[in-house]
């Protein structure tokens, strides 16, 4: 991750994901990757998270918003994180997962 303002946000997000023992990766964009995919994809407590990192007042593009909406429509969580909110990611993920778990019926995986 670059030492840019957005890179610093990504670094802080990754540090929190490591602390939570969440599964995460940064998808490749362009070429063989899909454009507009969030900067970081994570799974925590069995829930899917798409995390778009921005610096300052930067906002997601229309394509990024479309992907974030698609994650929400599929039952996952999406967040746009910046310097002002990057320290709250871990608690936000925890609260979102717990709230959804309390609302959702337990599903059993079949093979």
Per-residue pLDDT tens for 27-85?
977 667 678 999 999 999 889 999 999 999 999 999 999 999 999 999 999 999 999 98
- The bridge status of strand 47-53 relative to strand 40-44 is antiparallel
Q: Which of 103, 60, 52, 44 shows the shortest CA–CA distance to 80?
A: 52
Q: Does the model's pTM come out above 0.95?
A: no
Where does the pLDDT of residue 96 fall: very low under 50, low under 70, confident under 90, or very high at 90 and above? confident
Where does the pLDDT of residue 110 fall: very low under 50, low under 70, confident under 90, or very high at 90 and above? very low
Q: Any idea which residue has 């069995």 for tokens?
A: 46
Higher-scoring residue by pLDDT: 103, 18: 18
Q: Which structure tokens are listed for 10?
A: 């990504």
Map out the domains of the chain with their CATH numbers: 5-87 (3.40.1350.10)
pLDDT score, position 57: 92
- Average pLDDT, integer, range 1-25: 90
């Amino acid at each position: 991750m670059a030492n840019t303002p957005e890179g610093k946000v990504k670094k802080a997000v990754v540090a929190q994901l490591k602390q939570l023992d969440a599964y995460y990766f940064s998808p490749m964009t362009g070429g063989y990757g899909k454009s507009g995919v969030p900067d970081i994809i994570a799974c925590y407590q069995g829930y899917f998270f798409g995390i778009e990192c921005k610096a300052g007042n930067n906002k997601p593009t229309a394509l990024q918003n479309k992907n974030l909406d698609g994650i929400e429509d599929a039952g996952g969580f999406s967040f746009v994180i910046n310097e002002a909110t990057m320290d709250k990611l871990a608690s936000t993920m925890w609260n979102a997962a717990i709230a959804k778990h309390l609302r959702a019926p337990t599903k059993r995986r079949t093979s």
